[in-house]
Structure 1
């Protein structure tokens, strides 16, 4: 089994999942130029990570990859449980972090082309994006006021939010007013699978 990833990107989530499963796998760091080359685009026309290859199966999209890995190794409890209802709850949070929150980071990583030469517009777009991220993080923070994780135990939804909090730190986006997030971040960072993956990707804790 082979996983293509970009260091620190959302592909960190299935990378940790593979580490939790414990079966042999190969993790391949794919540079931003490489994922736009014809060979990679033939596997994933979006030119994005993560990309998982398992025999003849070539699978993109985090939720699809994580669902597949969970089905292969249910004993690993990637969604924090083996019960249908509890897995569905964790999946709800995974979808929220994967879709709504992740999308909100887009303008902070790359401005729309129409705003590149318009500084006031660029500043407004970045400010609005940061405000939207904090609104979404407030929803997660409210959950953490009553729970330790987003599954019954540590699960892939938690790793997704952990990854996005890493992005906040990278971008200098201050979430300290949401007082449950940093302790959550530190709890997740102590997981041995997370530590192993950060080391493989050359990232600091």
Structure 2
């Protein structure tokens, strides 16, 4: 897939930026991956807190995608943008009904499935120590289990989330289940198998290798 200029993706390891890195590998778009450390030392040039990076992403988070003079800073917005640059990849559907389903699942993943993971992460390491509440870990586990049960009702036994076509929803799901396992949440075996199956795709393997 050709594009006027290579995209620049600023990201870090298995963070949400992996979603964008994987999507880029699926599309074949030319890009430069710029490893950006999630460090608080603003003097380090590759730090997400360095002034040069904050000029791109005022939150000091990853990922950030740069395409010419366009800058995007939210992982799902970035994945959707990448998918639309390469429609032949079919990462995002085009019909109204299929797109509605895509939107439903992507919103659910962000608002329900991911939320308890990041809540735990914030209270594990991201927040200042005096703001952390370890007691909320049980609440996060409760919310995760509830979200997984709801997901069971949203998905069927198809190979992919949208039926017979791999899409960016599968990227989001596989990444989120991997995140959940790393954070020691209870992930049903069928979703571990889903993660493993999608992580075995050539594009996912290339994305994983680039982080090593």
Q: Indicate the TM-score class for this superposition, using the shorter chain for normalisation.
A: 0.7 to 0.9
- 1:151-166 matches, within 5 Å, as 151-152=162-163, 153-166=165-178
Which residue number corresponds to residue 173 of structure 1? 185
Which residue number corresponds to residue 20 of structure 1? 26
The alignment's TM-score, normalised by the length of structure 1, stands at 0.86
Could you say if the C-alpha distance between residues 89 and 78 of structure 1 is closer, same or farther in structure 2, counting changes exceeding 3 Å? Answer: same
1:57 equivalent to 2:70? Answer yes
The alignment's TM-score, normalised by the length of structure 2, stands at 0.83
Give distance in 2, aligned partners of 1:175 and 1:115. Answer: 28
- 1:65-80 matches, within 5 Å, as 65-79=78-92
Which residue number corresponds to residue 85 of structure 1? 97
Say how many residue pairs are matched: 194
Which ranges of structure 2 fall in alignment gaps of 5 or more residues? 1-6, 40-46
Secondary structure at 1:53's aligned position in 2? Answer: strand
The alignment yields a C-alpha RMSD, in angstroms, of 1.9
The alpha-carbon deviation at position 106 of structure 1 amounts to 2.2
Give distance in 2, aligned partners of 1:145 and 1:182. Answer: 16
CA deviations on 1:33-82 (whole Å, 9 max, x unpaired) are 21112111111111111110011111111232223222221111112x33
CA deviations on 1:117-164 (whole Å, 9 max, x unpaired) are xxxx52x20110111112112222333443322223121111112111
Structure with greater contact order relative to length (CA < 8 Å, sep ≥ 6): 1
Give distance in 1, aligned partners of 2:194 and 2:116. Answer: 21
Larger helix proportion of the pair: 1
Which ranges of structure 1 fall in alignment gaps of 5 or more residues? none
Q: 1:99 aligns with which of 111, 116, 121?
A: 111
Deviating 4+ runs (over 4 angstroms): 112-115
Aligned 8 A contact 1:144 1:181 in 2: no
Give distance in 2, aligned partners of 1:49 and 1:182. Answer: 25
The alpha-carbon deviation at position 2 of structure 1 amounts to 0.6
